[in-house]
A and B are shown apart, each in its own frame.
Chain A
């Protein structure tokens, strides 16, 4: 069991309180996933700036800052708990290479022009506090509370998974053909950092998107290629999409108002959202892709 949540703002009204709305949703999903939590927040910034969400683990921040300044001249770093957001106008390929070759202790959680990702082992209530989610603003965000079933309780095993620029995915369920699919994706040149099934789904989505397929088409073909139980929320720079497998054992409920669309595993995750009682509330139907903002 896991808890997944997402919120997409259709208007500017709640952009400043996006973090607060999302953190309330994660707090309420503690019962579905008490062992780790994570979230991705999308906030558009300058076109030329890339943001890298890095987990520096037990590396000293000041040491890292000094070292990175030697390798990347124009960079700006912001530390939140054991994560660092690195902003630079250098191209992703170069930055990823620099980090991977010089900082073996640092893991790249995600990158893009809009996305910032944070995830950690621990109770969701503590995790959102550590990362100060309440202070975040943005256009949309997704989150996850994990009750580990098929791989270890580690930061690497936590969601969201990001395997492409400004992409991320959270998952409630389990996949049964992830080892096969991982091998196929590795053959195509994709890389994976964990044994986790969800990372394979994220890789599958990124691989398809990089072949110029739309998110909707990708998830529709995923219904055929991904075997198992799932409700997925996938985020992109412009919006997010939701899909449930055709058996639909894994729950999801959507609340839509004129200002926002919220999705969660259970209604109680969104009971605190503004005007939720006046929202159109429905369950996404099995095997149908719902998307907003694309």
Chain B
């Protein structure tokens, strides 16, 4: 079904997508003329495919569950924020805080993601074909971040248990984030995510692994300047 934001209001379109009849088999949607609208496809909770043709605003596909949302354009702040499951695929660039606080699902960004990508991520897998900006994976708790380009300043600051893999350069590591040894299970993880993201010609062993030094987990007076 084609949904046109020049003909229908944003709220009408979101209402249609959020309230699909459980029994319907019509689960393919194309949204045209998004023109930077905010919160488009937020709160979807059923299996469906949505293709958005154009650039969107903030919080696109936020809180997503089960749906596959593809954006043929750029996205604003907080794409797939708080996603629980499903897939969000951005064909352009993403603004800041992509995949913020998300618990699950897969976020693929074909272009670059700007600052704070994966901030406080709690289980989502994020694959960025380009580079990520400063403070990416800040306070990231769980899940995996794969960056095929470079990472900006303070990568993984105050990190918990997210695995970060970067192929290019890292401008600087944040507090308590260190480079770690790559093991076979990590290579397998990268390989699976690259495959899921349809990325070919990049070898898993060309990435470096970063994770938490686990020194900031408990309060220690010697670390007071790092908290």
Chain A interface residues (CB < 8 Å from chain B)? 248, 251, 253, 266-272, 277, 281-283, 285-286
Contact = CB atoms under 8 A, between A and B. Distances in A.
Contacts of B162: none
Interface string B22-46: 0000000000000111100000000
Contacts of B133: 248, 285-286
B57 A266 contact: yes
A253 B92 CA distance: 13
Contact of B55 (A248, A251, A281, A285): A281
Nearest to A276: B55
Nearest to A285: B133
Interface residues of B, number: 21
A100 to B, nearest CB: 43
B134 interface: yes
Interface string B53-76: 011111000000000000001101
B70 to A, nearest CB: 17
A148 B57 CA distance: 23
A68 to B, nearest CB: 44
B141 interface: no
Contact of A271 (B36, B58, B134): B36
A243 to B, nearest CB: 15
Nearest to A284: B114
B77 A251 contact: yes
B85 interface: no
A272 B76 CA distance: 17
Given A251-B77, A283-B93, A285-B133, A268 B37 contact: yes
B36 A268 contact: yes
A267 B75 CA distance: 9
Interface string B106-131: 00000000110000000000000000
A93 to B, nearest CB: 45
A282 B56 CA distance: 13
B101 interface: no
Given A248-B115, A251-B77, A281-B74, A268 B95 contact: no
Contacts of A270: 36
A249 B133 CA distance: 12
A281 B94 CA distance: 11
